[in-house]
Structure 1
Amino acid sequence: MKKLITLLVLFFTITSYAQTEKEPIVWKTSVQKISDLEYDLVFSAVILENWHLYSQYNPEGASLPLEISAVDEKPDFKLIGKAKESKTDKEYSDVWEKEEIFFKYKAVLTQRIQLTNTNITVIKLNLFYQVCKVGGVCIPFDDDYTFSLDGAVVEEKPVEISERSITLSNAMKLDLKNTHLLEEESNESSSLLYIFLLGFVGGLLALLTPCVFPMIPLTVSFFTKQSKNKAKGITNAILYGVFIILIYVLLSVPFHLIDGLDPNILNDISTNVWLNIFFFAILVFFAFSFFGYYEITLPSSWGNKMDSASSVGGLIGIFFMALTLAIVSFSCTGPILGSLLAGSLNATGNQAMQLSAGMTGFGAALALPFALFALFPSWLNSLPKSGGWLNTTKVVLGFLELAFAFKFLSNADLVVRFGLLKREVFIGIWIVLFIGLALYLFKRIKFPHDGPDKKLSFSRVSFGVLTVAFIIYLIPGTLKNPTWNLKLLSGFPPPQFYSVYQQESECPLGLNCYKDFDAGLAVAKAENKPILLDFTGWACVNCRKMEENVWSDDAIYNILKKEYILISLYVDDRKKLPKEEQFEFIRSNGNLKRIRTIGDKWATFQIVNFQTASQPYYVLLNTDLEILAPPKQYTDIGDYYNWLKKGIPPKLKK
């Protein structure tokens, strides 16, 4: 959850920590003995001028409050209430529209603890807090502090690496041959184009909402009429569109900073159970705002400030006009942007680049009509008038948001495999949601902002019929032996083997697979067969598409079943490794990474040996660990078939 909070803070903060010239806060610690069992652990801070440290009691929805917690999962002590605080200040924040509580210049926090084990002499506490410069950058910190209860000087010893950790770290590195084949070009560019197009479609949907659509003729008319020079008005309108794109692209910049810390950090965040549950809750919240039960808006003071700034004129004024549009339309664009953010974080590959591509597409779709109608103002006459159809669009988007939300709840269920949202249950929920959408389109149910009943329009009936057809398409997915396998939805429902019905195996398509590399290699040696190494994920959409659309092809299925030993390594599996298999992996730079889960192990294994963190990622190996062909990612049937044939020894080729 702390990773999540840090991520959300960075989302709204473009300036990185490296840009501050000094440490904004310096801490010292001390201990006061109260009794044999109780101690006061004291944090004292000196805060740089013009910086604020926020209190534990800072209100929800404002800057992040301070939090003190134990470092160890099962500590030998317990915290007695919250820490006592020295003098704090209060001030109303125009940004958050709340009265914030913070420390200036200095802070003293006194946390009382009670020992549950009298033999311990050292206590470790974690301090999570945020400091903000007045009117500027905010920086979250997450630091551990050590206290000595007996007054001895606590020296932070260098981390001792056990012989087992050294052995297991060395075992992660394979002695691969033909590694030059790893350097061949991947299909990342096609993936980014796909994400760009998805973002573009999201932007087009945002255009058809009541917050954005009425702004098109008003804004274009403003630009074309404000200047006596028509060419200048057109230029300004085009600049306005460019600035819209720029604003949405800038929102993705912090994710590149995060991604640079660790190649697998965004994957760790995106497969976090609590983050996926959080996304589920947020999208449900967004959906009900689309239904009209409440409005989601940014603080009105933001829009007012941007609006007043736009009166400056010139490039700066046009930029602030674009920023004003982004802020005032947030109640409609926010849910779509939230889905785009969630989708990018739960994608595979370079997630930061994918988010930038999606944001660029979204901004381009929003900007396009402003530039086009400025160039061809007569087209404005062909625009449909605002009316009830805009609210209908919002409600339809609300149902789609709900359907999308259950994908994230499914991700949380899959990575820990609680068994709550098996494939048929997930599809059943979708059937219920789309029945609700059909009833709405045929005016059998209403929402708060719907107007008086009128005759059903042709477009509404047509979309209702398509929705009913989709429901019929979904129904076989709830049966043990479905008439069809919902290939069009591959990646959204859980995999076919994650079922309420008994399955042949916990492997795709009932194939025989191994989920441990050493076990699979031993079988390959015993049977003298090549290996298909499959780096995959429970929450990986493209992995499911490959399994259900490509692997299911008869020719490919037979090759996988008869000619290869399939080793499927799930990089997002959050099940804990047995205690004796957990270790500290030693990176090449000397830093340590804790390997605690199955996913930790295989994600690190992939990065160390193949220098990539994307899935699906397929490698052909023989039992001497010789790479037989350039690795393959998401592709089509023909390409994948020809690639698989390259790994079969000549005498076995057919």
Structure 2
Amino acid sequence: MKSKLIILLLVLFSGVTMAQTDEEPALWSHEVESLGNGEYQLVFSADIAPGWHIYSQFTAEGGSLPSEFTYTKAGTDYELLGTTGESKTIKEFSEIFEVEETFFKEKAVFTQKIRLLDPQVRQLEVELFYQICKEVCIPKEVVFQIALDGGAVVTETVTIDQRSAELSKGLRLNLKNKERLQAGAQISGNANPSLWGIFVLGFLGGLIALLTPCVFPMIPLTVSFFTKQSGNRTKGVWNGILYGFFIVLIYFLLSIPFHLFDSVDSQILNTIATNIWLNVFFFLIFVFFAFSFFGYYELTLPSSWGNKMDAISTRAGGGLGIFFMAVTLAIVSFSCTGPILGGLLGGTALAEGNVATNLSAGMTGFGVALALPFALFAVFPSLLSSLPKSGSWMNTVKVVLGFLELALAFKFLSNADLVGNWGIFKREIFLGIWILLFLLMSLYLFGLFRFKDEGPKRKLTATRLGFAMISLGFTVYLILGLSNYGNLKLLSGFPPPDFYSLTDKESDCPLGINCFKDFEEGLEYARAVNKPILLDFTGWACVNCRKMEENVWSVPEVFSILNEDYVLISLYIDDRKPLPEDQQFLFQFDSGRVKTIETVGEKWGTFQTLNFSTASQPYYVQLSPDLEVLNASIQNTDSNSYREWLESGLAQFRKGSTEESLSIANPF
């Protein structure tokens, strides 16, 4: 029960996640078979959407939550004959929980025999708690109202008015050749960073943390302790390496809580990409981090923690003592490493892919970089003399990190503005803030101003001058992009889209392409001009969507096909704009569950999952005006593959049009 509560609380925290995945991935039904002599067999069946799975009643303890049936009034109205049986299951080892888990895919069937104790009983109630997983694990409850005379009773009785029924009907498409969506592998190119790439980013973050005043001075002190206090060189080298290993282990373990679910892909953490108030919260947190780097206050964990760990390490001795020494380092260096880890957390959340796995890769990279000098100098202590001396340069590193934290903070605020349709942080304002931040960072590096408690002005070193020139160059790059004398492809996905502008744009669509943001309007236009439809499931806060638009759609060969040969329908899944009152309605799933559709994003999110069994963005589908699927769906890819995909769908559309014309001309 406790684990159920934890998962329920976490799901409540990820409010938008539920909105995106609550499109009923499992549809339940039940049957009753009379066996005579007051005995009945109850059958509970679930049709499971592609990619999802439900856990068995008998999945191993310590893993995901099992399915649990509660037979109300069993023992009074009726008795259970044996245990609840199951259909065929799949077993697979979970690297997260390190147990063999048992689950169902596509279809789950449970059976239970009962015998009535009261012959007058004609209806039973059975409750089912289960966990269904794909990119996120969602706990669900179903209440079956079972009529023993064979009549079916839905689990939820809601009156759907005529208007809601008509609007609900409009969400369901009668697609032709739907199997083409899965024909061959979906193209999902290299837009997402690999785990090695994320590891390298974490490693770079760890290297930066090494240069801060919380960590750098501890390197020679710690290495000297191992080499001088261990008794002999061999033991000192071994202890130094063990210390480094424990540092890596500690930072890896910090990512483990994010593996509580079977999979967290672009959920839990990624809810910050679409939830307005979580974006605002992260904006405030990163501003708080930034000003700690500027020296206005210091972020520290309670000093008693570090003192306690240090005392334990002294008493324990040996390998256990070295472990607690590593814990002490993590605690006392938090004022410098905490904000960097926060940036790693935020950057991982903005990325696509399995967030928990990505975070583990990044945290491991961070730990390796932090541990490397301790192990390296323990093996080669003579290299300690080559280390630069501690000095004011370490504070310069902290201040630069503060500017970078502020820049990332405004990315989160921009997400909130886009999703909430506030219209405040338009592209020019966002870029203007970044220009100001990087200009200030350049002036700081040139030594034109200093922050509190930095001490007297010092001579400008060649290294600092070099970084100042890089920062100034980046500022010029932003200015050119703002003035339309250059492009900002290096920042693709970070600033708001080009059409989200203070100036009056001819189109509010990517690259000025004539697009529709309502499916019915786009479909009507496609039929009028007899062109195929490119259905673009996108999001305001979707970084990979912007990358596709700015790096792939902008390629001339791709742009000309999109602009001239297709009707583009862009549906924003995370749009929180309320629908007009006459377009808000109740949508009833086949299971009987009812969902209230009140916003634009809820409408198109339900539309996507209902017709295409997916909730990811970007997601592209080619349709003919008569709703024939022309090609396999596609997601992130390169410009050549995307162009070939567009041309293939266009050829299929023209082939179908030619065959239809021949059929009309030669009816016999």
Report the alpha carbon displacement of residue 240 of structure 1 after superposing the two structures with TM: 3.1
1:330 pairs with 318, 331, 334, which one? 334
Report the alpha carbon displacement of residue 179 of structure 1 after superposing the two structures with TM: 3.8
Aligned length: 510
| Structure 1: distance between partners of 2:236 and 2:14 | 40
Q: Secondary structure at the match of 1:568?
A: strand
Aligned twin of 1:287 = 290
| Structure 1: distance between partners of 2:301 and 2:325 | 16
| Structure 2: distance between partners of 1:579 and 1:447 | 53
| Structure 2: distance between partners of 1:207 and 1:196 | 16
Aligned twin of 1:160 = 158
1:452-488 deviations in Å (ceiling 9; x for gaps):
2222101111111222222222223333xx1112222
1:383 pairs with 381, 387, 400, which one? 387
Task: Give the residue type in structure 2 aligned to 1:374.
Answer: A
Given the alignment of the two structures, is residue 364 of structure 1 paired with residue 364 of structure 2, yes or no? no
Task: Give the residue type in structure 2 aligned to 1:466.
Answer: I
1:238 pairs with 211, 236, 241, which one? 241
Q: Secondary structure at the match of 2:260?
A: helix
Gaps of 5+ in 1: 9-15, 20-156
Q: Secondary structure at the match of 2:650?
A: coil
Would the alpha carbon gap of residues 525 and 427 (structure 1) be closer, same or farther in structure 2, given more than 3 Å must change? same
Report the alpha carbon displacement of residue 295 of structure 1 after superposing the two structures with TM: 0.1
Would the alpha carbon gap of residues 195 and 534 (structure 1) be closer, same or farther in structure 2, given more than 3 Å must change? farther
| Structure 2: distance between partners of 1:197 and 1:261 | 21
Aligned twin of 1:219 = 222
Q: Secondary structure at the match of 2:545?
A: helix
Given the alignment of the two structures, is residue 420 of structure 1 paired with residue 424 of structure 2, yes or no? yes
Report the alpha carbon displacement of residue 212 of structure 1 after superposing the two structures with TM: 1.5
Given the alignment of the two structures, is residue 517 of structure 1 paired with residue 515 of structure 2, yes or no? no
1:327-378 deviations in Å (ceiling 9; x for gaps):
2111111111222222333334433333333323322322333333334333
Q: Is the 8 A contact 1:252 1:352 kept in 2?
A: yes
2:260 pairs with 257, 260, 275, which one? 257
Would the alpha carbon gap of residues 626 and 395 (structure 1) be closer, same or farther in structure 2, given more than 3 Å must change? same
Would the alpha carbon gap of residues 392 and 357 (structure 1) be closer, same or farther in structure 2, given more than 3 Å must change? same
Report the alpha carbon displacement of residue 429 of structure 1 after superposing the two structures with TM: 1.4
Report the alpha carbon displacement of residue 409 of structure 1 after superposing the two structures with TM: 1.2
Q: Whose Rg is larger? A: 2
Report the alpha carbon displacement of residue 381 of structure 1 after superposing the two structures with TM: 2.5
Aligned twin of 2:616 = 614
Aligned twin of 1:631 = 633
Q: Is the 8 A contact 2:264 2:355 kept in 1?
A: no
The structure showing larger relative contact order (alpha-carbon pairs under 8 Å, at least 6 residues apart) is 2
Q: Secondary structure at the match of 1:453?
A: coil
Aligned twin of 1:318 = 322
Aligned twin of 2:277 = 274
Q: Secondary structure at the match of 1:177?
A: helix
Report the alpha carbon displacement of residue 221 of structure 1 after superposing the two structures with TM: 3.2
Would the alpha carbon gap of residues 650 and 415 (structure 1) be closer, same or farther in structure 2, given more than 3 Å must change? closer
Task: Give the residue type in structure 2 aligned to 1:250.
Answer: L
Report the alpha carbon displacement of residue 574 of structure 1 after superposing the two structures with TM: 1.2
Aligned twin of 1:555 = 557
Within-5 A mapping of 1:576-591: 576-583=578-585
Aligned twin of 2:480 = 476
Report the alpha carbon displacement of residue 396 of structure 1 after superposing the two structures with TM: 0.8
Task: Give the residue type in structure 2 aligned to 1:445.
Answer: F
Would the alpha carbon gap of residues 187 and 651 (structure 1) be closer, same or farther in structure 2, given more than 3 Å must change? closer
Within-5 A mapping of 1:429-444: 429-444=433-448
Would the alpha carbon gap of residues 643 and 255 (structure 1) be closer, same or farther in structure 2, given more than 3 Å must change? same
Task: Give the residue type in structure 2 aligned to 1:388.
Answer: S
Within-5 A mapping of 1:288-303: 288-303=291-306
Would the alpha carbon gap of residues 316 and 500 (structure 1) be closer, same or farther in structure 2, given more than 3 Å must change? same
Q: Is the 8 A contact 1:259 1:266 kept in 2?
A: no
Report the alpha carbon displacement of residue 395 of structure 1 after superposing the two structures with TM: 0.6
Q: Is the 8 A contact 1:573 1:599 kept in 2?
A: yes
| Structure 2: distance between partners of 1:268 and 1:490 | 21
Given the alignment of the two structures, is residue 352 of structure 1 paired with residue 350 of structure 2, yes or no? no
Task: Give the residue type in structure 2 aligned to 1:484.
Answer: G
Would the alpha carbon gap of residues 6 and 374 (structure 1) be closer, same or farther in structure 2, given more than 3 Å must change? farther
Would the alpha carbon gap of residues 641 and 327 (structure 1) be closer, same or farther in structure 2, given more than 3 Å must change? same
| Structure 2: distance between partners of 1:252 and 1:585 | 38
Task: Give the residue type in structure 1 aligned to 2:550.
Answer: E
Aligned twin of 2:577 = 575
Aligned twin of 2:462 = 458
Aligned twin of 1:145 = none
Q: Is the 8 A contact 1:303 1:328 kept in 2?
A: yes
Q: Is the 8 A contact 2:515 2:570 kept in 1?
A: yes
Would the alpha carbon gap of residues 279 and 264 (structure 1) be closer, same or farther in structure 2, given more than 3 Å must change? closer
Report the alpha carbon displacement of residue 537 of structure 1 after superposing the two structures with TM: 1.5
Within-5 A mapping of 1:97-108: none
- TM-score of the two chains, using structure 1 as the length reference: 0.70
Task: Give the residue type in structure 1 aligned to 2:638.
Answer: D
Aligned twin of 1:643 = 645
Supply the RMSD in Å over aligned alpha carbons: 3.5
Would the alpha carbon gap of residues 263 and 425 (structure 1) be closer, same or farther in structure 2, given more than 3 Å must change? closer
Q: Secondary structure at the match of 1:292?
A: coil
Report the alpha carbon displacement of residue 267 of structure 1 after superposing the two structures with TM: 4.3
| Structure 1: distance between partners of 2:319 and 2:591 | 46
Q: Is the 8 A contact 2:536 2:569 kept in 1?
A: yes
- TM-score of the two chains, using structure 2 as the length reference: 0.69
1:24-53 deviations in Å (ceiling 9; x for gaps):
xxxxxxxxxxxxxxxxxxxxxxxxxxxxxx
Q: Secondary structure at the match of 2:212?
A: coil
Report the alpha carbon displacement of residue 186 of structure 1 after superposing the two structures with TM: 4.1
Range with greater deviation from structure 2 (640-649 or 250-259): 250-259
Q: Is the 8 A contact 1:271 1:346 kept in 2?
A: no
| Structure 2: distance between partners of 1:322 and 1:398 | 26
Task: Give the residue type in structure 1 aligned to 2:281.
Answer: F
| Structure 1: distance between partners of 2:598 and 2:166 | 16
